Amino acid sequence: MRIVLLGAPGSGKGTQAALLEKHLGLPHISTGVLLRHAVAEQTPIGQQAKAIIDRGELVPDDVMLDLIEERLAQADTQQGFLLDGYPRNLAQAESLDALLERLGRPVDEAIQIDVDPEQVIARIEQRAAQEGRSDDTEEVLRHRMRIYQEQTAPVVDYYARKGLLTRVLGEGSVEEVLQLILSVLSMDERGAAP
């Protein structure tokens, strides 16, 4: 099963992806983790990305897609994967689909975790206080939410038009949200079909 997890910053998609990885036995692919690993390992893509980051620029879509393709070539992804943090915009969604079609492994399900924006801000502020993060101020969070609405929300519509999107309310406990997602995937809590 090939799953794309979508949601605003602070919606819990990373948390849910980690739990789903355990329940479903599918690798959790986070583009942020992939990028940091490639840079740390000084892979060719990592070196290219580091040069871009060092200039203060965003890593371009084609480099991110190369990073995803490199990860999808690994054996543990052959039965499926959970993609978290990608695609972030419509161009990335279209490029990802083209890549997956070429590999004969198209997306099976896109799950949007919906959370009220004010609750997202409260969650991230709490996380910032607990983790001592100074980059999660309310002003920064509201800016990130605007970027999400402008760039990533169209990805939700893209998957909806393809008939692949399911929306899940992400405002319950972590376990409640997990159970909602598993029910979408027609799975019980052990990852087995009911």
Active site residue 127: yes
22, 36, 102, 127: which one is catalytic? 127
The answer to whether 13 is a known catalytic residue is yes
* Choice among 2, 71, 123, 144 that is catalytic: 144
For 104, the token pair is 């004969």
The angle formed by the CA atoms of residues 120, 121 and 126, to the nearest 5 degrees, is: 100
Q: Which of 50, 88, 105, 167 is catalytic?
A: 88
| E-assigned strand segments in 60-187 | 81-84, 109-114, 165-169
> Is 55 labeled as catalytic in the residue annotation?
no
From the list 102, 133, 142, 162, the catalytic residue is 133
Which one from 2, 13, 71, 123 is the annotated catalytic residue?
A: 13
* Distance of alpha carbon 49 from alpha carbon 40, whole angstroms: 11
How far, in whole angstroms, is CA 9 from its chain's centroid? 10
Per the annotation, the verdict on 102 as an active-site residue is no
Annotated catalytic residues are: 13, 88, 127, 133, 144
